[in-house]
Amino acid sequence: MRTINELVRHVRRVSTSTPQYRKRVVVTGLGLVTCLGVGAKKVWKRLLNGECGITKITEPGFEKIPCQVAGYVPANELNIEQLIPKSELREMSMGSIYALAAANEALEDADWHPFTDEEKEYTGVAVGMGMSKFGDIVDAGITLKNRGYSRISPFFIPKVLLNMPAGHVSLRYGLKGPNHVVNTACATGLHAIGDGSRFIQNGDANVMVCGGTEASVGPLAIAGFARMRALSTSFNDRPIEASRPFDKDRDGFVMADGSGVVVLEEYEHAKNRGAKIYAEILGYGLSGDSFHLTSPDSEGAGARRSMSAALQNAGLCPQDVTHINAHATSTPLGDVAECKAVFRVFGENSKNILMTSTKGAIGHLLGAAGSVEAIFTILACYHGIVPPTLNLFNPDTGVDLNIVRGRSATWDLDKRIGLTNSFGFGGTNSSMCIGSVNEAHS
């Protein structure tokens, strides 16, 4: 017999984790800014073709740093002057600019243009950023030291605050619902989408513009990560081979800039206005490693708890998942730990899961990684195709998994449910289950 307290805890757990007790959340708009290009359609096509956007660093200031590769957003594809008035540019960091570009595409894609006060008040923003551009801070410090207080720009603080990308998106489109900011290192983008989905489930909004942005590639940031021995240094002369998730010759991640933004909607709201629906957010899980500030537990215990929490929140069994977009950054410890965690969670079903890491093509976008990779998972669900893991020649995963490599794989199932992972320094983890709408909990 259960005690009264045990019954109360059970009811609370069921009422907050079982899908039929909450509003459904779907994805109706996508926006991407990456080193593979600007625009979700273009980036997706290049990703499926096995192309890579990582290049050699040629700008000054990096000469003595051992890592000489990075993923840069093609400046000629942004059309900043069409998106942002020149008078406003001095107020914005590049991270805010990337977020605005991705949000603009996502809102256009969703065909959501809130006009009335009511529409604006139930549309919110959840956009996070991993780090401010260190160069902006260094330059301001040098200016203060050499030229004095009066030469500091009044826009310095707004440029470096981590909540400003979300603030600029809210201001640009007049969105007056929840204005939420996430900063959980490399899990930021996925946490933002997950938190946004819960705002909708809880009735705080009907529409959320969610994602992450990052524009931190610069000498100081790369020098700092290089000193931690976190970055790839062995492929400076072959930049497209530098990011190599799961491969035995991997030696660290490749920093990259960009942004990924989605429009989330309450299902009935999207259906009633005839919106195109890409996928459904089925479940969202979080965990903490409580192990080490920068290294995961060798068995991936935190990742395992995060994935298990996402499955429980979605009301799914391990056998329901047939695709995983892994966090796998191309670090020796992290990739193996995640693979072990996947095997612990999914067991023998692991061989039926099409697993990939898209960081071989776009590098690691830090605060934007989770949202960009969530978009890739959404597109995989929508189109029934999984992009390949680049530069995987000799797998070194510690367990036997079905990793897509060489070319894209057809995901030809009536029921497509994928899971995407994002893990960050400090031991912060997030996982999300995403499914094709015509099959998922219809």
Please check whether residue 440 is in contact with residue 414, taking contact to mean a CB–CB distance below 8 angstroms: no
Q: Is the CA virtual torsion 109, 111, 115, 120 positive or negative? A: negative
- State both tokens at 360: 């071989």
| Separation of alpha carbons 288 and 307, rounded Å | 12
- State both tokens at 311: 């499955």
Write out the catalytic residue numbers: 186, 327, 364
Q: What are 69's strand-pairing partners?
A: 56
Strand 354-356 to 323-325 pairing: parallel
Instruction: List the one residue out of 171, 184, 44, 37 whose CA is nearest residue 98.
Output: 37
Q: 73 Cβ partners below 8 Å, 6+ apart?
A: 33, 34, 35, 38, 98, 257, 258
Please check whether residue 258 is in contact with residue 53, taking contact to mean a CB–CB distance below 8 angstroms: no
DSSP for 5-59 reads HHHHHHHHHHHHH-GGGS--EEEEEEEEEETTEESHHHHHHHHHTT----EE--S
| Separation of alpha carbons 324 and 420, rounded Å | 6
